[in-house]
Amino acid sequence: MEKQISESTREYRRIPLIGDKMPSFEAETTQGTIKFPEAYRGHWTILFSHPADFTPVCTTEFHAFQTRMESFKKLNTKLIGLSMDQVFSHLEWLEWIHKNLDIKIEFPVIADHSGEIAKKLGMLHPNAGKSTVRAVFVLDPKGIIRTLLYYPGELGRNLEEIHRIVKGLQLADLKKVALPANWPKNEIIGSKVLIPPAKSKQEAEKNKEGNECKDWWFCYKSV
């Protein structure tokens, strides 16, 4: 029995990691069948799972995602949801949101009723119930996983943080910099960005040119 439990747990925990290519799969959604992540190439993508339709925390999250959809579009970022409900359940729930909260959900929602996609992506955590946890995958335009977040069922996600993650990753890629804690409101350097630590004496000296430094390994600048 112990061996069976161990093997079952490993099955759930075979998940893609940061820096990995997102596994490819075909799925039914509220907007038709898609091939993921191929259909989203060229865009940043936020794939997020929710435990179930017609639940209060999930409803507030969908409202929050849709409210910020234009902000995500400005970052060339698309949204796609997922749960283990059927397509008809998704559609009825989205209609309820439209009628009762006066907002239309415009992004597709995957109907993973078999649970195969959730298992493949590590969205099912055996000790957290039988539904998907609140997983968030942030993918870059090449389909590479850049961020993974997991929230328990009882805690709704912070959408401002997810938006900050995408904006920060894009800036880091563009400027080849790193971002401090609580960016862009860091307690030490404010909205400035960090120069990656030097790997040689020559590089350390170069980092000091035109930048502010606390030490040779702690240099920063405005962007």
Give strand pairing partners of 47. Answer: 80, 137
Phi, psi of 133 (to 5 degrees): -75, 175
Rounded Cα gap, residues 34 and 56, in angstroms = 28
Q: Is 219 a catalytic residue?
A: no
DSSP E strands: which ranges in 19-133?
25-29, 32-36, 44-49, 77-83, 109-111
Compute CA distances 214 → 76, 179, 189, 201, 205, whole Å: 35, 16, 10, 16, 13
Rounded Cα gap, residues 178 and 196, in angstroms = 6
Active site residue: 58, 135, 138, 193, which one?
A: 58
Rounded Cα gap, residues 127 and 137, in angstroms = 21
User: Catalytic residue positions?
Assistant: 58
